[in-house]
Amino acid sequence: VNLVNGRSTEISRYLIPSPIIRKISFTGSTPVGKELAALAGLHMKRATMELGGHAPVIIAKDADLDHALSSLVQFKFRNAGQACISPTRFLVQDELADSFAERFGAAAKKIKVGSGLDPATEMGPLINEKRVNAIDELVRDA
């Protein structure tokens, strides 16, 4: 396994045509994924794309709410919520909505936020200022 970090457009135009490269795998934005998929197709390379998807969670009235809450708090806040599989929204049946929101909020407030270098930290910082601004906007919109 080899990982290459950098500007995808510069790297991909150099690497994908190479006969050494047999497959590409990309996790990221849809616009970049389209560009990489087109380049892979042009050079007949296999490609796997994990692109800016959404991960809704449905909670029905017969759900085990304790189990759902325990799992979803972990899933939602893993990697400061910056994982491509992190839930983006919860669709909760009316009968459970108030209880779910109250309990999820209480569990979220217990998460120890701090430096990613501190072993006691449960959730570290966002990756960059762009993400901080995006989250601030979501909070203001809520």
Residues catalogued as catalytic: 50, 84
Beta bridge partners of 23: 46
- Token couple for 127: 């990756």
The 3 state secondary structure assigned to the chain is CCCCCCCHHHHHHHHCCCCCCCEEEEEECHHHHHHHHHHHHHCCCEEEEEECCCCEEEECCCCCHHHHHHHHHHHHHHHHHCCCCCCCEEEECHHHHHHHHHHHHHHHHCCCECCCCCCCCCECCCCCHHHHHHHHHHHHHC
